[in-house]
Every structure is written in structure tokens, then in C-alpha cells.
Structure 1
Amino acid sequence: MAKTFSPVRPVSCSFVDSKSSLKSANIRINEVPTRLNILKQNPAATVPPLTDGVRVVTAAEYKLAAACLAEAFEQDDVARYFIDVPDREHWTEEEKWALHVEILEYVTYAHILKGLVTTVGDFEAVALWMPPGQNMDDYMTIFRSGMWRLNYRLSAEGKRRFFDEFLPLLHDTMHTTLGQQEYEAWYLVYLGTKPSGRGKGHARKLVEHVTRLADGEGRPCYLESSNACNPAIYRKFGFEERRTIHLQRGGRSVPLDIMVREPVAQEKNMNGA
């Protein structure tokens, strides 16, 4: 589940009359810097090599990837938590479905911009990863992905649940769970398989595509599971439950299982352990 977005607030801008500023400036030639210092930025995360039919989703394909996730999470309690709200009781299921798809399109595109989106089996399964040290909280990503529209598309209660409860809870839980490893971990934000694609090993391929790289770099992997059946599946991939958190607005209690996979030493991988 995505956790890195903050509500978009208006930004005030001050415009300066460049001509008058230049006239009043006292510029001396011998004080003009002779070189520019480029600020060091964190390097982009390494993209794992493609194997087992896994490939990276392009920006032109984001709607196909989002459609897969929308179908996979159609009845998910967390996905519905922001849509099934008292102030949208008058909405039809068609309207709610359209918003459900829209949210996942924004999230998917944001991950294409700043994270890693992979698919297998002709969009039968899709994974959204956030690499170590990366996030989607900058204004450019929020603007380009369309996430800013949630301030207008979600109802008042939906916004309270998403921005005031959900995102802070996930942020604080990840920080508490991982501690100093928070910025070293690969974060599996979404993993979804269409009903027609289940039982084909797609989830394993999408998870192991990244965990192999994480093992080689000595990095943990982190996820939140919103389906009670999924922790047993993730345990097969090396994840372990650390805690359970709950969304609790509106008299509901929607659980999320927090799971972490510690890196496996390369020697063990070679021995099949």
C-alpha cells in the first residue's frame, strides 16, 4: 500500500522585477564565482535484471498495469476504505469503481516515475516497488502522476481517512519497524494478480525479481498485507510478520499485516537454503 504521498497544498510565489533588481545590485567582477559546485544527489536505484518473463512497465502502459491492480484489489478492504464512506453512500457501484481505478492509475504512474513497476503474463500480475531511499513526495511527481486530484476526487471523509489516518499510520509504522534500515529497504507497495492469472507462479516471479537484488546488496524488503490469506504466501518468499496495525475510522477495524524480509546471505542462496 502506498504511503509516501502528502496532501497537496497551494504554493505561494513571489515575482521579482528582474530589471529593477539588476539596477540596484552592486556586482563586482572579481566576486563572480569561477566554478559551480554541483550538489551531490542520491544515485538512482539499480533496476534488477529481467528474468522469468518479468518486464518493466513503461509510462505508455500505466493504465494496463493499473487495470490489473484494480481487478486484483476489487474487494480489498483497504482499497475500499477511502471509497465506501458515509458521505458517498449515494454513489453507484459504477462511480465507486471508476474512482477505485483512478486512484490506482495515479499510484501506478507515480511509481513509474520514481519507483519500479513490473509485470508478467501480459498484465496478469503487477508489482509496484519503491527502491531504497526513494519516495514520491515531491511536487513534480504528485503533479505529473495526477495524485493532486485526490484532494478533489475523494470525499471529505475519504480525504480524512487517506491523508490524516492512512498515510501517517503507514509512514510511522515503517519507521518504527525498520528504524535505521528504513532508507535501505525495498518497499513492495502493491502486488496484485488477476483472478485469471492466479496459480501460475506470477507473484513469486515478481517478488523474487527484486529479492535477488536485495540479497546481493544486503537490503531488507518491506510490505503491508491487506489480505488475511497473503501472509502465508509471503512467508514462502522469506517475509516474516512483525506487527499488525488497524485503520479505525467510522467504527471499522481494517487490519494490515506488516512483514519484513531480511537479506539472505549469498552463500546460503548458492546452497539453496
Structure 2
Amino acid sequence: MVTQTFTSLFSQKLAYSSDKVRIVGVDEYKQAALTLAEAFYDDDVAFFFLDVPDNGGKTREQLWPLHLEILEYIVLAHIYNGLVLSIGENHEGVALWMPPGANMDDWYTIFRTGMWRIYFKLTAEGRKRYFGEFMEKLHDTKVNALGELDNDAWYLVYIGVTPKARGRGYSRKLIEHVTNKLDADGGAPCYLESSHIRNVPMYQRYGFINHSRIHLGEGTKKPVPLDIMIRPAMRFTKSTGRRMSTVGYKLGAAPAATTTA
């Protein structure tokens, strides 16, 4: 099982402490989802398929239960098929990583996590946005951006820190827990979509570079931007320190019109 394979990779750093990263188990998925729900409460991407014209005029406060429920499904899917990391006494920081070649879209995962319920929970417009644009566009963008390296890349799907715990370096630790290990083992590319422009400089400090920008809901009154970022494969050696790997490094070309500065 994918979860067991990648859990063993990082087990040496998982001693419990408020400032140390640990792997989230099935019995903790609700707490981890709550952290992400709080972290993404003001995020337009997270509400792209909830904040829709046919939802009866519901506010984000009224949409909160469904927002949280969807993230519970997503966290559980990553526990089964990927790597869910947590930091803080009460999971104040959480990151969802999907290892190379893994995903949460197979029917078995959809069934046992309850993700199939999302279809019936969303409005008609919400379903159109979630299944017809959100999932499809993110998948196609990742494949096109990474090219032949898509199956070699680690995907940082979600990372969030509760508002009260920000400024403690939790995001850095959640990212570097994986990237430091990858660099030490010879390097592998990493990929993410940043849903807020203010986070781009943070990811750049961790080695991610801007690839392009896409928009969800381009035909709506309020298109939602996403910055596509890639961390090329890097190698860490004692003699040279961290450097760009030259082994098999090739990224898909970004469209000139959408490349960010």
C-alpha cells in the first residue's frame, strides 16, 4: 500500500513534540481537516465550488459544515494513498503530499473515504465547477507543466496553518520534512498550486520557481487565480551543499502569455 511505503521513508523524524513533524493516522483525520478548513476559510479556491450562484445565497459561515466535510474526505484520501504531515500540539499545521504516481481518484479510494458523497452535496453549478473544471483543470495543468517528469514528482496538494499558529515556521518544517529527504536521496521534483499571491515568496524561499498562472471560472464575474510552482530536482552533498540536479531535469514549457514574473 502506498501509505505504508512512504510512511516508512520518513519515520525517523516522527517523534512527537509540538515543534516536530509527524505523520497523521486515520484516527486523526478529522483534526487535520479542521486545521485546513480554518486555514482556507478565506480562500477563494477552496470555495470555488461552494460559493456559487445557485446555493441559495449562503454565506461562508453557512457553508462551513460542507467546507469542512469535503476536506475530511480529502485528508482521509491522502492518509490512504499519500502522506499527511502534522505539526503542533493540536495539529496547528497540516500538509497533504501525494507521492509520485499516486492519486486519490481511484474508485476504491472514492468509495471508502466517502468522497462519492461530494457529488450529492454540491449544487448543480458546484458539481459543474468541481468535477468539470476544478479537478480536470488542475490535473491537466500539472501534467502539462511537468511533462515527462509528472510521474516522478511529489505534489504538495494542501498546506495550511491555523491563524493563531502562524509565524512559528510550521510551513517551512512541513515542506522541508519532505524536500530535505528528497534532496539527500538524490533529488525529485515537487509541484504545487499557490492559491494566494502572498504565499509565492514563501515557496520561492523553499526552492519553488514560478511556472505559470491559471484561472478557475474564467467565464464568471470573479475568476480565481492559481500560481503554478515547481521545485526542480535538487541534490544535497556535504561538499557542495544543495544544488540543482542535472539528472533527467526537464520541465514542460509554460505558455508565454500566462507566465508570471
Q: TM-score range by the shorter chain?
A: 0.7 to 0.9
Q: Kindly provide the CA deviation profile for residues 137-170 of structure 1, in whole angstroms up to 9, marking residues without a partner as x.
A: 2111101111100110011000100100111111
Q: What is the CA-CA distance between 1:237 and the residue it aligns to?
A: 0.4
Secondary structure of 1:117's match? strand
The equivalent of 1:84 in structure 2 is 51
Moved over 6 A (4+): none
AA partner of residue 138 (structure 1): D
Q: What is the CA-CA distance between 1:253 and the residue it aligns to?
A: 1.1
- The answer to whether the Cα contact below 8 Å between 2:235 and 2:242 also exists between their aligned partners in 1 is no
Secondary structure of 2:28's match? helix
Which sections of structure 1, spanning at least 5 residues, go unmatched?
1-40
Matched, 1:47 2:17: no
Q: Kindly provide the CA deviation profile for residues 63-112 of structure 1, in whole angstroms up to 9, marking residues without a partner as x.
A: 00000000000010101111110110343544301111011001000000
AA partner of residue 150 (structure 2): E
The equivalent of 2:138 in structure 1 is 170
Which of 257, 264, 268 pairs up with 2:234?
264
Secondary structure of 2:196's match? coil
TM-score when normalising by structure 1? 0.80
Q: What is the CA-CA distance between 1:241 and the residue it aligns to?
A: 0.5
Within 2, Cα distance between the matches of 1:268 and 1:169? 40
- The answer to whether the Cα contact below 8 Å between 2:186 and 2:235 also exists between their aligned partners in 1 is no
Secondary structure of 2:197's match? coil
Q: Kindly provide the CA deviation profile for residues 7-64 of structure 1, in whole angstroms up to 9, marking residues without a partner as x.
A: xxxxxxxxxxxxxxxxxxxxxxxxxxxxxxxxxx9x9446324266100001000000
Q: What is the CA-CA distance between 1:268 and the residue it aligns to?
A: 6.7
Which sections of structure 2, spanning at least 5 residues, go unmatched?
244-261
Which of 38, 41, 60 pairs up with 1:71?
38
TM-score when normalising by structure 2? 0.84
The equivalent of 2:207 in structure 1 is 238
Matched, 1:204 2:166: no
- The answer to whether the Cα contact below 8 Å between 2:186 and 2:236 also exists between their aligned partners in 1 is no
The equivalent of 1:254 in structure 2 is 224
Within 2, Cα distance between the matches of 1:67 and 1:156? 26
C-alpha root-mean-square deviation of aligned residues, in Å? 1.9
Q: How many equivalent pairs are there? A: 232
Identity %: 50
Within 1, Cα distance between the matches of 2:222 and 2:36? 24
Within 2, Cα distance between the matches of 1:269 and 1:159? 53
For residues 156 and 208 of structure 1, do their structure 2 counterparts lie closer, same or farther at Cα, with a shift above 3 Å needed?
same
Within 2, Cα distance between the matches of 1:44 and 1:221? 18
